[in-house]
A and B are shown apart, each in its own frame.
Chain A
Amino acid sequence: MSNQASTLFDKVWDAHVVRKIEDGPDVFFIDRHFIHEVTSPVAFLGLETRGIGVMYPERTFATADHNTPTINQHLPVADPLSANQLKALESNAAKYGISHWGLGHARNGIVHVVGPENGITLPGMTIVCGDSHTSTHGAFGAIAFGIGTSEVEMVLSSQCIMQPKPKKMRVNVNGQLGKGVTPKDVTLYIISKLTTAGATGYFVEYAGDVFENMSMEGRMTVCNMSIEMGARGGMIAPDETTFAYINGREQAPKGEKWDKALAYWKTLKTDEDAVFDKEYNFDAADIEPMITYGTNPGMGQGISKAIPTSDQVEGGKATYDKSLNYMGFHENESMLGKKIDYVFIGSCTNGRIEDFRAFASIVKGRKKADNVTAWIVPGSHIVEAQIKEEGILDILTEAGFELRQPGCSACLAMNDDKIPAGKYAVSTSNRNFEGRQGPGARTLLASPLVAAAAAVTGVVTDPRTLL
């Protein structure tokens, strides 16, 4: 037998196994459970049908985000179905004693933004939510992943889910990132190399000096996108950057509890001789500002490159042709100079303060292009307040942009923020699937810098030319 060197993932996973089922999944304990209005109502209905309750209501946190308007949030929600879902979340939370940050609450926002910014997300935890981008919280060295509604019901009723332990992958990126290359570009690059299903069945650890030197906001962007290559989640070992981010946040441990927590958190790293089922190494210098040209997040490339031909990509030609046809693009075309109609900055991927700072760095002193409609949506009210305090709002206003109110917005287009059919949107969100941002909408995923460059020029533009 080999020695017991273990990975960061092993350490956190193994500490949460309540029972191992032979030829079956682990009964896996969940420390923190986030819920929102879209994937929770049927779970609560299930509890009622079975006549069972919520086992640990203090371990679940509710926020409304997927289905909320991003303008006039003080008015009643116009769509009766959306209003009904929001009401269901509110009444379910009240009934079972779950903390609820609904529409209009000072701490309301996108679930994966508010968890970390309020100190609810901590290293070494297990965190789930009925949303695949729960992987975001892995930035803190937590095991965090999305679950289905049946599992939401399991967590509510027993604080556990049944999960087979995934395989382990490590993605190392070392070296120096170039000018204008952001965490979003790093993740889009990795996904383009591994493909949209390349990490299915794995849990990923991101390691190397690129991630060590990254801010918490950047790490969240990277971990957030793990699901886009099929991984259940991604995580980064907690370090001084992590501890400094958490320290002092509202729900973070204080005093003696902090000291005890910190001592534990410092043990959360992969042992030197631990073995991964798969490992990839990338050089930071190879990464350009990225943009997608197709209908899954793996269909991305450096912004200066031409669209590949079908024989250069994995998968069948029929699927590839269908994708380019949907986008209205052709093989060998350049992405630079393509006319765009919409720009969306926001979402759980790029809706944090650092993202708006980056956007403003290009917009400052320039004007919004006339052909562009821009939706600028903070990830939370706290981010919105920061945008105002730091003078970013003034820069945006001066350049002809308006700030909307927090929510998931055009990332999944459940509310009114839909890109019209056939229109092109440069979007800082996470998915470019057909119709994701509205029926017929065409999405180009990119970083806040690429989005800003497109917003001021009206075409796909290399942001490095504007920095």
Chain B
Amino acid sequence: MAYDKFTILKSSAVPLPIENVDTDQIIPARFLKATKREGFGDNLFRDWRYNGDDTPKQDFVLNNPIYSGKILVGGHNFGSGSSREHAAWAIYDYGFRCVVSSFFADIFKGNSLNIGILPVQVSPEFLNKIFEAIEADPNAELEVNLPEQKITILATGESESFDINGYKKHNLTNGFDDIDYLQAMKGEIKEFEAERIF
């Protein structure tokens, strides 16, 4: 799908210091009934964000107006569970372009990269520093520099580098996706298929 190119993102961040945030929390299954990909942001973290009667839960971070920004900072093992890409869509649709954690579940990480969200894995120590910086100042900005593969807490100047493979980095910085790549090699795939025994 088409998404905005990702190069350098400078933004305040929303802290969610909970471990094992699974995709059922990010978007509960009962909201997966759409046949289009827009609008999932309304139900992002639905059951943590709203009471049963649809009134906002005041103690949840997305309902706290002092926190905002295009970066979501989550606890260890973010995005575990179901393969629903809807979880990544919900995060993107809400307005986030980057998720920072000390560890990501595989499928969520892949889904994010495929739709233009950058998952940034940092050390547990650096993650704590980010949480501390946001606690000290909810407007504290982070700079995520994809070309340099570096994340910086601007208030303190502390930074850490992060990994991403060259292919995905090239895609994200140019707004390309895998389907463009695969369509261009269909001849090669056809030859491969002809040799399959099943």
Chain A positions within 8 Å of B, measured between CB atoms, are: 18-19, 21-25, 27, 29, 31-32, 38-39, 41-42, 45-46, 50, 52, 55-56, 66-67, 79, 81-82, 84-85, 88, 122, 124-125, 130-132, 134, 146-151, 153-154, 157-162, 164, 166, 196-197, 200-201, 227, 230, 232, 253, 260-261, 264, 296, 315-316, 318-319, 322, 412-414, 418, 421, 431, 433-436, 439-440
Contacts and interface: CB of A to CB of B under 8 A. Distances in A.
B123 to A, nearest CB: 16
B139 interface: no
6 contacts: A24-B168, A130-B83, A134-B83, A146-B107, A159-B189, A431-B81
Interface stretch (B60-68, B141-149, B173-181): B173-181
B110 interface: yes
A431 B23 CA distance: 11
Contacts of B36: 41-42, 45
Given A200-B105, A434-B47, A157 B25 contact: no
Interface stretch (B4-12, B14-22, B153-161): B14-22
Contacts of A55: 186, 189
Nearest to B112: A148
Given A42-B35, A158-B179, A160-B182, A147 B83 contact: yes
B182 A84 contact: no
A273 B101 CA distance: 37
Contacts of A160: 182, 189
Contacts of A132: 81-83, 107
Given A315-B19, A436-B24, A150 B83 contact: no
Given A24-B165, A319-B20, A296 B52 contact: no
Contacts of A85: 33, 35
Nearest to A164: B165
A431 B24 CA distance: 10
Contact of A25 (B82, B167, B188): B167
Contacts of A197: 20, 76-77, 80, 103, 105
Given A315-B20, A434-B47, A25 B165 contact: yes
B17, B80, B114, B188, most chain A CB atoms within 10 A: B80
B1, B52, B166, most chain A CB atoms within 10 A: B1
A440 B52 contact: yes
Given A24-B167, A151-B114, A196-B77, A29 B19 contact: no
Contacts of A414: 29-30, 32-33
B4 to A, nearest CB: 16
A439 B107 CA distance: 24
B54 to A, nearest CB: 11
Contacts of B47: 434-435, 439-440
Contacts of B107: 132, 146-148, 227, 232
Interface residues of B, number: 58
B85 A149 contact: yes
Nearest to A436: B24
Interface of B: 1, 17-20, 22, 24-25, 28-30, 32-37, 47, 52, 75-77, 80-86, 88, 103-107, 110-111, 114-115, 165-168, 177-179, 181-183, 185-186, 188-189, 192-193, 196-198
B28 A148 contact: no
A146 B182 contact: no
Contacts, number: 207
B140 to A, nearest CB: 21
Contacts of B81: 132, 227, 431, 433
B178 A154 contact: yes
B189 A439 contact: no
Given A132-B107, A296-B20, A157 B182 contact: yes
Given A146-B107, A157-B179, A19 B185 contact: yes
A414 B31 CA distance: 8
Contacts of B114: 148, 150-151
A435 B28 contact: yes
Contacts of B168: 24-25
Nearest to A157: B179
Contacts of B115: 150
Given A159-B189, A196-B80, A435-B47, A23 B18 contact: no
A13 B55 CA distance: 49
A460 B32 CA distance: 32
B127 to A, nearest CB: 12
Given A122-B198, A132-B107, A39 B83 contact: yes
A230 B198 contact: no
Given A148-B88, A316-B19, 4 more contacts: A134-B83, A150-B114, A318-B17, A414-B30
Given A56-B193, A158-B179, A433-B22, A39 B85 contact: yes
Contacts of A261: 197-198
B183 A82 contact: no
A148 B111 contact: yes
Contact of B33 (A19, A56, A82, A162): A82
B158 to A, nearest CB: 22
Nearest to B166: A23
Nearest to A408: B29
A201 B107 CA distance: 10
A435 B24 contact: yes
Contacts of B188: 18-19
